[in-house]
Amino acid sequence: MNSLDILEIMPIEFQGKKKVIHIYKKVKIKELTASRIIDLYINLGFKKLPSVFSIQNFYMIIFFPKPPILISKRDGRLYSFRGKWDLKEAQHQASLIMRVLSEFNYVEKHQRKSMRRRK
């Protein structure tokens, strides 16, 4: 994967007139595997599970037809593909993944910051 094809995504939940931004240092990559990521969703009772692949320096998480989210094995940050999907949809998808990972303490220095949305 060429680094020009992806961009870092800030996980943001959009809830009516508010947005919740997930601020974090990094995902604890050393403790994760593709099968472990799927297990987290199973443990939370998800009926539809994502497809998770280990590709080069990333874990790719896909809830088709939503944008795929990549977790970098190098820096523990979240990424998505540039220009392929709507940025807002990719940010929301990243926030769902962040909520799952933080539920099981796989995120360092995770905070949720609520803000009013601009029109």
pLDDT in tens, 92-111: 999 999 999 999 999 999 89
Q: pLDDT tens-digit profile of 10-21?
A: 999 988 888 899
- Boundaries of every domain in the chain: 3-116
pLDDT in tens, 50-64: 999 999 899 999 998
Please state, in angstroms and rounded to a whole number, the distance separating the CA atoms of residues 52 and 49: 9
Which of these CATH numbers, 3.30.310, 3.40.390, 3.40.50, 1.10.10, describes 3-116?
3.30.310
**What is the spatial distance between Cα 28 and Cα 32, in angstroms, rounded to a whole number?**
7
Helices (H) and strands (E) in the chain, counts: 2, 10
